[in-house]
Amino acid sequence: MTTITLPLFPLTTVLFPDGALPLQIFEVRYLDMINKSIVNETPFGVVLLTGGHEVRTPEGQEHFVGSGTLATVQETTASAPGLLQVTCRGNSRFQLLSRERRANGLWFGQAELQDDDRQVPIPSELQGAADALGRVLASLDGIPEQRWPVLPPFRLDDCGWVANRWCELLPLPNLQKHKLLMLDNPLIRLELLHDVLDEHDLLTS
């Protein structure tokens, strides 16, 4: 597997491959990270924060899980001096081999990239999850695309894509979302999400 060194952004959210990540950046360490990511066309790593705060505080450092998702910058808008609105997209998953916090407070990690989900067609017994997601996407008609919670292209025939979108949309605990993210079998991931949808009567129109 490929190993890379990259800056890390601990957040109280879980980013999935092909998922949207809107950010409001004002800390110098992250403004610098985003600028270098744009100039060098390189990703940064989003990891789930389990202790501490997203914003740097004097009383302690961040604690985060040992795996996450690459993020690439799609769009930036300077809404005020020192304030940057950023839209990112999730890419491959990774497992951290090591991590270090540098002088400016920015975390870096040596990461091993994980294989992307293989494409698995939706089996008939799980089609309800894809159909329900299709209805959610249809309800976005008339809403500006930049406000959509799901990024195109839509792949309603693929287990991994459908499962990941439901992971984003459902109000599941973040640690549960992270466990689903790191499952290497997209069919099992969708089966688990299908059970959640069924339990909450979300499979019927």
- CATH fold match for the domains 3-113 and 124-199: no
The domains of the chain are located at 3-113, 124-199
CATH topology of domain 124-199: LON domain-like fold (1.10.4060)
Residue 45 bridge partners (DSSP): 8, 70
What are the start-end ranges of the E strands in 15-168?
A: 20-25, 44-51, 63-80, 83-101, 107-113
Q: State the pLDDT at residue 82.
A: 81
Q: Which residues contact 33 (CB under 8 A, 6 or more apart)?
A: 7, 9, 44, 106
Q: State the pLDDT at residue 147.
A: 82
* CA angle, residues 162, 150, 180, in degrees to nearest 5: 45
Q: State the pLDDT at residue 145.
A: 79
Q: State the pLDDT at residue 120.
A: 97
pTM, two decimal places: 0.93
CA atoms within 13 A on the CB side of 103: 0
Per-residue pLDDT tens listing for the chain (205 residues)? 799 999 999 999 999 999 999 999 999 999 999 999 999 999 999 999 998 777 766 556 789 999 999 999 999 998 788 889 999 999 999 999 999 999 888 999 999 999 999 999 999 999 999 999 999 999 988 888 778 889 899 999 999 999 999 999 999 999 999 999 999 999 999 999 999 999 999 997 5
Q: Which CATH number fits domain 3-113: 2.30.130.40, 1.10.10.10, 3.40.309.10, 3.40.140.10?
A: 2.30.130.40
Name the residue among 145, 178, 94, 15 with its Cα closest to residue 154. 145
